[in-house]
């Protein structure tokens, strides 16, 4: 057995969702919306299943979807892509990340990541033979100083994996931060694997801009997007890889031996959905922002202190500032068992020396679910204070 995967625990998301089911707890842990996505997009998938074909689509994805991805990003993100040579459809963003790392990383290469980081990055980098080079982002702004960032890059660096908006911190890299990363990528001939799955989920006028359009990055960025996040249907597992033709060639070759293709009906439906008017995506953002505000104000009334959320489905609770002496894992385990609410401990997003002071809450839920969640969290706070 390969020790990288053999010694790994089951992902914290599956673990907490499992505990939530077992305990009948309110699940504010794993990030998924409670309401299923747009009915017309689901109807398009259902129709495509019945109409067929139900056979292998082209390895890089249906032309109709690749064209729709290019149109969508040209319209909403100001990114110009040639659908035929620069877009590949994958079975979700996690597969896109795996394919990108396998395509880019050779044994011994260093890969810079920003901690806290999504749990899939480190094991996939290691399995590709790479060496994880973490750069710690510090609260409350989740930023890093110039010196620490510069020290992470060297002649050994092959790639940087970044995620903005960032899960779990709910922060967004601004233009200056992207330009800083871009400078190091250009100086050291590094490829940026840019996980932009939360691109449409930003709040308060904060705008996501792709790493593809950062200075000098058009030819050295692999941009990853996700229909699951764009439509709030996380089970669909339809991802997009957008990169210059030479990079796309290699990523597609990795993808062809991971999943080869992605279900054609879902691809048809996503193509339909991506063409929706811009107002649809703005309304989605506003609905999430409203849920965030609701959760934030209910938590404040219950005595909790949260950190700012500029994007993603998440809001983080600062346990110490909220008067809770437990570390994040103890809190999460006891809260789901004793108070009936599932959360995600942020320490699961660190390779080592984790910050143990925060838990992540998902607010993409109905009002009554958020209310029940906060009631249970208030109970936990009383029990553990
Ligand atoms: N992206 C989801 C989250 O952060 C989890 C996905 C998964 O369970 N692997 O909650």
Q: Which domain holds residue 52?
A: 39-276
Check whether residue 284 and residue 371 sit in a common domain: yes
Which atom from ligand 1 is nearest to the alpha carbon of 14? Answer: 8
The CATH code of the domain that includes 218 is 3.40.640.10
pLDDT value at 111 more than 90: yes
pLDDT the model gives residue 120? 96
Q: How many CB atoms lie within 10 A of CB 95?
A: 21
Q: Are the beta carbons of 253 and 296 closer than 8 angstroms?
A: no
Whether residues 174 and 214 share a domain: the answer is yes
Q: Evaluate: CB of 261 within 6 angstroms of ligand 1.
A: no
Q: How far apart are CA 42 and CA 39, in angstroms?
A: 5
> Per residue in 211-245, pLDDT tens?
999 999 999 999 999 999 999 999 999 999 999 99
Is the same domain home to 352 and 224?
no
Which of 276, 298, 313 delimits the end of a domain?
Answer: 276
Crossing angle between the packed helical segments 278-301 and 63-76, to the nearest 10 degrees: 70
What band does 208 get if pLDDT is binned at 50, 70 and 90? very high
Question: Does 93 share its domain with 204?
Answer: yes
User: 189 phi and psi, to 5 degrees?
Assistant: 55, 55
Mean pLDDT score, 142-171: 98
Per-residue pLDDT tens for 47-74?
Answer: 999 999 999 999 999 999 999 999 999 9
Is pLDDT of 8 > 90? no
Q: Are residues 7 and 56 in the same domain?
A: no
Q: Please give the number of the atom of ligand 1 that sits closest to the Cα of 168.
A: 4
Please tell me the residue having the least CA distance from ligand 1 atom 7.
13
Residue pair 298/371 in contact (Cβ under 8 Å)? The answer is: yes
pLDDT at 4: 87
pTM of the model: 0.97
Contact assessment for residue 144 and residue 173, using Cβ atoms and an 8 Å cutoff: no
Using the atom order of ligand 1, give the atom closest to the CA of residue 13: 8
| pLDDT of the residue at 140 | 86
Question: Where is the domain boundary, 276, 291, 315?
Answer: 276
With a 6 A CB cut-off, is 13 part of the ligand 1 pocket?
yes
Question: Whose alpha carbon is nearest atom 9 of ligand 1?
Answer: 13
Among 276, 302, 324, residue at a domain's last position = 276
pLDDT band at 352 (very low <50, low <70, confident <90, very high): confident
Beta-sheet pairing, 358-362 with 314-318: antiparallel
Residue 224 · residue 69 · CB < 8 Å: no
Average pLDDT over residues 158-163: 98
Distance of CA 233 from the midpoint of ligand 1 (Å): 12
Q: How many Cα neighbours within 13 Å face the side chain of 216? A: 14
**In this structure, are residues 239 and 89 in contact, taking their beta carbons and an 8 Å threshold?**
yes
Q: Is the pLDDT of residue 210 over 90?
A: yes
120 within ligand 1 shell (Cβ under 6 A): no
Whole-number Å distance between alpha carbons of 226 and 196: 8
pLDDT of res. 41:
98
Same domain, 283 and 272: no
Interval 363-382 mean pLDDT: 98
Tens-place pLDDT, residues 78-99: 999 999 999 999 999 999 999 9
Q: Do 271 and 304 have their domain in common?
A: no
pLDDT of residue 217: 98
Work out which ligand 1 atom sits closest to the CA atom of 118.
Answer: 4
Number of other residues whose CB lies within 10 A of the CB of residue 280: 15
Residue 385 has pLDDT above 90, yes or no: no
**Ligand 1 centroid – CA 246 distance (Å):** 30
**Domain shared by 115 and 220, yes or no:** yes
pLDDT tens readout for residues 252-304:
999 999 999 999 999 999 999 999 999 999 999 999 999 999 999 999 999 99
Q: How many CA atoms lie within 13 A of 261 on its CB side?
A: 15
Mean of pLDDT values over 139-158: 96
Looking at ligand 1, which residue's alpha carbon is closest to its atom 2?
Answer: 31
Q: Are residues 237 and 363 in the same domain?
A: no
Report the domain count for the chain.
Answer: 2
**For residue 211, what are its two tokens?**
């790493």
Nearest residue to 349 (alpha-carbon basis) of 340, 359, 341, 339: 359
Same domain flag for 12 and 50: no
286 and 272, same domain (yes or no): no
pLDDT band at 376 (very low <50, low <70, confident <90, very high): very high
**Mean pLDDT for the stretch of residues 37-48:** 98
Average of per-residue pLDDT values in the chain? 97
Which CATH number is 363's domain given? 3.90.1150.10
pLDDT of residue 330: 95
Same domain? 125 vs 208: yes
């Amino acid at each position: 057995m390969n020790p990288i995967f053999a010694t790994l625990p089951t992902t914290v998301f599956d673990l907490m969702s499992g505990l939530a089911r077992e305990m009948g707890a309110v699940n504010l842990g794993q990030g998924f919306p409670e309401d299923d996505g747009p009915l017309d997009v689901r109807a398009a998938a259902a129709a495509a299943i019945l109409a067929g074909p139900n056979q292998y689509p082209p390895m890089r994805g249906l032309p109709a979807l690749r064209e729709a991805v290019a149109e969508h990003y040209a319209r909403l993100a100001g990114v110009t892509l040639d659908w035929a040579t620069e877009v590949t459809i994958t079975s979700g963003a996690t597969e896109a990340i795996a394919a990108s790392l396998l395509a880019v990383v050779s044994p011994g290469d260093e890969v810079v990541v920003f901690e806290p980081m999504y749990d899939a990055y480190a094991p996939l980098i290691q399995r590709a033979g790479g060496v994880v080079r973490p750069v710690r982002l510090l609260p409350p702004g989740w930023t890093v100083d110039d010196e620490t960032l510069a020290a992470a890059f060297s002649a050994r660096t092959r790639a940087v994996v970044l995620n903005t908006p960032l899960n779990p911190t709910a922060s967004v890299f601004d233009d200056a931060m992207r330009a800083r990363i871009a400078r190091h990528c250009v100086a050291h001939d590094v490829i940026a694997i840019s996980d932009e799955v939360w691109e449409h989920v930003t709040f308060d006028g904060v705008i996501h801009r792709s790493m593809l359009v950062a200075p000098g990055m058009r030819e050295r960025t692999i941009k990853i997007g996700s229909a699951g996040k764009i439509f709030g249907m996380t089970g669909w597992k339809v991802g997009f890889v957008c990169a210059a033709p030479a990079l796309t060639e290699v990523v597609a070759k990795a993808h062809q031996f991971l999943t080869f293709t992605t279900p054609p009906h879902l691809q048809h439906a996503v193509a339909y959905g991506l063409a929706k008017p811009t107002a649809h995506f703005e309304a989605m953002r506003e609905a999430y922002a409203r849920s965030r505000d609701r959760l934030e104000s209910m938590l404040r009334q219950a005595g909790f202190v949260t950190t700012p959320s500029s994007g993603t489905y998440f809001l983080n609770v600062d346990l110490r500032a909220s008067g809770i002496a437990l570390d994040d894992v103890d809190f999460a385990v006891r809260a789901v068992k004793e108070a009936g609410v599932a959360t995600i401990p942020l320490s699961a997003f660190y390779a080592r020396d984790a910050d143990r002071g925060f838990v992540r809450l998902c607010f993409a839920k109905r009002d009554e679910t958020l209310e029940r969640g906060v009631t249970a969290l208030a109970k936990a706070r009383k029990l553990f204070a």
